[in-house]
Every structure is written in structure tokens, then in C-alpha cells.
Amino acid sequence: MEFRENEAIYLQIAAYVGDNILLEKWVLNEKIPSVRDLAVELQVNPNTVMRSYEFLQGKEVIMNKRGIGFFVSLDAKEKIIGFRKERFLGQELPELFKTLQFLDISMEEIKQRFELFKLENK
């Protein structure tokens, strides 16, 4: 995994876990990789993965079954979509609007390109 410098690594790992859940690679109510296994896979310190898991547990995306490991919560997809949507609307969308205004890009052009994107990425 290539990490970006502008965001904490534990948040990027949390996003990676969320992506795997949304893509149904990691199934609801099923065990996810252990802290050590994911740390080895991503080539990071296990403490960083643990911080990601604690963050996701706080968001109720995963749950810890003591002595067994971490599992995907039954409503994990809804939780992930909810906090990602909130973050996008509150942080990323205002930046996008600012860029659109600076570059004089119309909403019609954005709509056309989005429709093309959806066709190409079904």
C-alpha cells in the first residue's frame, strides 16, 4: 500500500479496511485479519494497525470479540458510508467547489463528466 503524506497512516489503513468491507472482500459478521497479519501485509507497525482498529471500533464498523479477534459489524457498510459522506460533504466538497469556482467549471460540465464516468465504471 502506498501511503499519502497529507493524512495520518492509521486513517489511511482505516479507509483500506472500509474499502474491503464495502467491496465485500471482508464479509459482515466475519473475522478480519489480525493486527499482526495486517501489519505484515501493509508493512507497518502493529501499533498503527491497532490504532486503526480502535478508530473503527469507536465508529462501530468493527467489533472485538475478546480472545478471538476483530469482526465486521452487521451494519458496517451503513456506518462507513455515513462517516465518509459526512467527511466528504464537510471537508472535501467545499474544496472542490472552490476549485470549480477558480477554474470557472460549470455544474453542467461536471454533470456530463460524472455521467460518462458512471458509464465507464459500471
pLDDT tens digits for the chain (122 residues)? 889 999 999 999 999 999 999 999 999 999 999 999 999 999 999 999 999 999 999 999 999 999 999 999 999 999 999 999 999 999 999 999 999 999 999 999 999 999 999 999 98
pTM: 0.83
The pLDDT, as a whole number, for residue 1 is: 86
The pLDDT, as a whole number, for residue 100 is: 96
Q: Which three cell numbers stand for residue 37?
A: 497479519
Contact 17, 73 (CB under 8 A): no
